[in-house]
Structure 1
Amino acid sequence: MTTWTELKFGGRTFSPEVRKLGDMKEVVLDKRFLACADMDMALYFMFREVSKNEEDEKRIKERELRYDITIIPPNTLGAEFVKTAGHYHPLIPGSQMTYPEMYEVLEGEAHYLLQCRDEDGGTEKITDVVVVKAKKGDTVIIPPNYGHVTINPSEATLKMANWVARAFSSIYEPIRVKGGAAYFELTNGEFIKNEKYGAVPDIRFLKPEATGIKQIKLNKEVTMYELLREPEKLQFLISHI
């Protein structure tokens, strides 16, 4: 499998944080696969705080944002497609809503699995599960109060970008404790429930445009990075519309 030791973007070069199988073995369905797999196998590569030049870097920080690029080569985890570890976002201070996030598929295909959880009464309940199938040029917004996992369901490398508030760290533990998200996507295309959650809703399948915000019109002719020139369209990431 190809290893991405660097990313060239604009006139700059970035090094990745590498997610290895051993880092996320708890969220893999196929335990037989895990028993004989190499825990040092690199699954995906996260390039954090990417910018084309120093001026853009300064502008992004002033806006309290972060632009990342993640590369997920094609692979399987035994019975399921390669995926990210999955995480939730923390609450925006003074709010009952978590930080949203915006993704764009730059190359390949992505299945974004979103799940909304309710923790009223101290017990976790999944109230909604959504899968968004996205291709090159599609943007997908992760709404407040949803955790998410990204799956590469194809034989091509998935390269995706995200805009997110820089003020927080992702929360991995709830999905790790449950052994993954509410559903696993198998290599035959089937989604099966994660029994550790108990009762979960059926999956709602949405198109990428259905996740959009009507007040924000995006131009598919340019990459999402260029929203840096229209910062009002990114404001919802740090303060909800």
Structure 2
Amino acid sequence: MDLMLLEFAGKQVKPDIRKLYDMREVVYDQEWLQVTEDKDLYYMYRDLSYSNRDHNLIKENDLRYDITIIPPSIIGSEFVKTAGHYHPLIEGTSYTYPEIYEVLSGVAHYLLQKSENSKITDVIIVEAKEGDKVIVPPNYGHVTINPSNKELKMANWVSDQFESIYKPYREYGGAAYFELTDGSLIKNENCENLPGIRKLKPTNFSDLGLYKNKEMYKLIRDPDKLGYLNRPQDYDWLWEKI
């Protein structure tokens, strides 16, 4: 497969490419970075649909379906990862937009962190394998790590009503923790009084149509199953489960 193009719905889709130098502020090993040439890290294929009917349904429900491919790689002493971002608050609420991920192939570590008054108050890591679903709850930023020697391919459903916020991760030099290639998770020294890491299981919740090994793309045919992505304030029962 040519990683520059994605075969989807009979079409060749070009990606947005995240390069190493795009993420220079969030790399743990800055000495390594200084002597390393720029390179592609991962590929993002946004706003996908299988048909015009699906495209219209997706737009009517203020959603977006994406696929991201993260080839196996090393960033100095770290496993390859995404840049990390938060989502903005929904107007008139205390909730930010959530997101739902699905591992299509490979293994992912989703590193979630909650920030309150510029202080990180909760850190979660979820290991997800092929077929697993992982919901990022409101008010959490997140980084995705590929901790294996195989390609990670994942899909996501998310609201299309906002732009992601990368600045906090850049200002703190990365996430609350860095996952090194020896499997250790070390604290980001720029973050004070960090809590320990909680380990959670994937959120394969059948009441939301999320079944392991059943691809979640078809949920758009029953868009109420994705209602929490734009109206998280109506789903406190869900956030209590995670």
Which TM-score tier does this pair reach, normalised by the shorter chain?
A: over 0.9
Within-5 A mapping of 1:221-240 = 221-240=213-232
Within-5 A mapping of 1:68-83 = 68-83=66-81
Determine if contact 1:111/1:133 at 8 Å carries over to the other structure: yes
Determine if contact 1:72/1:157 at 8 Å carries over to the other structure: yes
Within-5 A mapping of 1:142-181 = 142-181=136-175
Within-5 A mapping of 1:54-203 = 54-119=52-117, 124-203=118-197
Aligned-partner SS, 2:89 = coil
Distance 1:98 1:13, change over 3 A: same
Aligned-partner SS, 1:149 = strand
* Residue 213 (structure 1) shift: 5.9
Determine if contact 2:67/2:154 at 8 Å carries over to the other structure: yes
Cα offsets for 1:132-174 (capped at 9, x unmatched):
0000000000000000000000000000000000000000000
1:38 aligns with 2:37: yes
Aligned-partner SS, 1:85 = coil
Determine if contact 1:110/1:151 at 8 Å carries over to the other structure: yes
* Residue 220 (structure 1) shift: 2.9
Unaligned runs of 5+ in 2: 236-242
CA distance in 2, matches of 1:83, 1:218: 25
Determine if contact 1:47/1:70 at 8 Å carries over to the other structure: yes
* Residue 52 (structure 1) shift: 1.1
Aligned-partner SS, 1:128 = strand
CA distance in 1, matches of 2:172, 2:187: 12
* Residue 219 (structure 1) shift: 2.9
Corresponding residue number in structure 2 for 1:7? 6
Runs of 4+, deviation exceeding 3 Å: 212-215
* Residue 55 (structure 1) shift: 1.7
Cα offsets for 1:59-96 (capped at 9, x unmatched):
11111000000000000001000000000000011111
Distance 1:192 1:58, change over 3 A: same
- C-alpha RMSD of the superposition: 1.3
Determine if contact 1:11/1:53 at 8 Å carries over to the other structure: no
CA distance in 2, matches of 1:55, 1:34: 46
CA distance in 2, matches of 1:95, 1:216: 23
1:48 aligns with 2:42: no
Q: TM-score, normalised by structure 1?
A: 0.93
Aligned-partner SS, 1:50 = coil
* Residue 214 (structure 1) shift: 7.5
CA distance in 2, matches of 1:151, 1:221: 21
Give the paired residue count.
Answer: 233
Percentage identity across paired residues of the two chains:
56
